[in-house]
Structure 1
Amino acid sequence: MAVQGQRFMTKTQHYRKVTKPLLERKRRARMNLYLDELKDLIVDTMDAQGEQVSKLEKADILELTVNYLKAQQQQRVANPQSPPAIQVNLDKFRAGYTQAAYEVSHIFSTVPGLDLKFGTHLMKQLGHQLKDMKQEEDYSEMAEEPVNLSDQKRSKSKEEDIPHGEDVWRPW
């Protein structure tokens, strides 16, 4: 039974009085957390550029972030020829793969007693994988670039010049 003069709170009253302020406090805490992270990133970037920052207000943090993102966007628009990070990583991977295949080939050619048949099979497999990576790159480039009929004729004539037989890939 309720104490005289007190009454029970409805769900709506409870929400307005207790839950809503708690949710709002959590929302503000989350915003402040990410603003602090942005501030740390901005301060580190500005320090790297030789600029010293003593205090940044929330509006300053947001303004500097927007300016930085706009500059990055303009840089991408001005430099569309620069390869994307994925392509750079793919090129590094391919170069490492080729170097590793070369070293495997070198070991098979210099260490006595290794099975020549196995070495030949391994080098074929490595070569096929590299060839597949190259073809995937060519297909992705073809999808991005407009098709030129004279280029297609040239590539067909090059394919006809390649003798069909066992492909043995050598890194040298």
Structure 2
Amino acid sequence: MAPTFLATSDYSKLSNKEKHKLRKPVVEKMRRDRINNCIEQLKVMLEKEFHQQDPNTKLEKADILEMTVVFLKQQLQLQVSAPLKAHHDGYAQCWRETMTFLSANSKLDMALQHLNHCQETQRAQKDLHVSPVNLQSSQVSVKQEMNTSRAVWRPW
């Protein structure tokens, strides 16, 4: 049924139901035009993506919408994974730097402990005139202490 044009005086005499019947086809056509316009804009914006998939096919509206959904899902997945990768890389770098720092400080602490222990042993030898047997046993205990203190603390 094609819309008919009425004079304004005739239109005002119509009931609400009759007015609705006259407006409905016009409103429906405007809605379809908006949908078609948006689908055409999607097609133009994502034309490069569509040609990668199948360059020689004529795309229907449903195809354009489906391919747009797939494309948007891919883009969202990339946006989600990029910060996650950056977080992981930053965490790994921080961990490496922490382990380097702790290892360097542990080695320095062990060296200082060893030097202090050697100085104490020498003082004890001078002060007490330690016999060679006692000296050997104290050196063995120093080596055992060094071996136990060398272990670097690791959280795992």
Q: TM-score, normalised by structure 1?
A: 0.38
The structure whose Rg is larger is 2
Q: TM-score, normalised by structure 2?
A: 0.41
**More relative contact order, 1 or 2 (CA 8 Å, 6+ apart):** 1
